[in-house]
Structure 1
Amino acid sequence: MESLLAARQELGPGMEPALVDSFAQKIIAEVQRQTWMEHQKPVPRPESNGGRLAIGIVSLVMAIPLTAIALGNGSVFMAIVCWIGIVMVNFAFAFRQRGNP
């Protein structure tokens, strides 16, 4: 930027459009270079062990009261439905994690 101002003072106001154009082209080239480099970097993969542990803990925390409520109302069928839902959530999480590169 300082060199642009120094060049403007030396060359005069008649060359200002050319200097501004040159400066803008340099900025655009730098932005494109940085954007290209950003796309070339590998995307860091989140650590899946923390997610697996969290889904396991949440599954147990939810399974215990849901089972107790279902069995307390005398409905073994609803307890089975709750456990099937919990198992499906865990399978969905496992396959989603496995499917990401």
Structure 2
Amino acid sequence: MDSRQDELKRDLDAAVLTRKELGKEYEAEIVDSFLARLDSRLDARVEQRVSEQLDGRRRRGGGEGGGGGGPKLPIVSLALGIPLSGVAGGTGGVWGLVVCWIGIVGVNMANALSSHRPDFKRRRDDW
């Protein structure tokens, strides 16, 4: 057992002992108190997991926009597409333009597809 489960077991044992000492007339209050503590612990765990997942996305470069480049990548690729088109068209003609824009579209498609990939990692302490 880990420390969280030990602490939860101690709280439950304390609630049961308190119920034995005070009698049935306080049973509802004792149960409500235990459930309130359990609820606050669950809320804290959920908040911790959400912040860990958000931090992981930010570290991987996802930011708030989702994909690896976020919403900036399509804008930047279009802005860079103008001078790249000039160079590609000047040196390779129409085929240079086609290759240039296939590359730009490919980068944007890869970014869009990677942002929708589900995270299937599971933790051992999930319940």
TM-score (normalizing by structure 1):
0.52
Please name the residue that 1:97 is paired with: 115
Q: 1:86 is matched with which residue: 84, 104, 114?
A: 104
2:52 pairs with 1:71: no
Match of 1:47 among 52, 64, 67: 64
Structure whose residues are more often helix by fraction: 1
Deviations 1:49-101, CA, capped at 9 Å, x for gaps = 6812x111211122101101122235110110010000010000000001144
> In structure 2, the residue corresponding to 1:60 is in which secondary structure?
helix
Counterpart-to-counterpart distance in 1, 2:92 and 2:115: 37
Q: Unaligned 5+ residue runs, structure 1?
A: 1-28, 31-36
Q: Does 1 or 2 have the higher relative contact order (CA < 8 Å, sep 6+)?
A: 1
| Structure 2 unaligned spans of 5+ | 5-44, 58-62, 120-127
Q: When the two structures are superposed, what TM-score results if normalisation uses the length of structure 2?
A: 0.43
Q: Map 1:24-35 onto structure 2 (within 5 A).
A: none
Give the alignment's Cα RMSD to 1 decimal.
Answer: 3.0
Q: Which has the larger radius of gyration?
A: 1
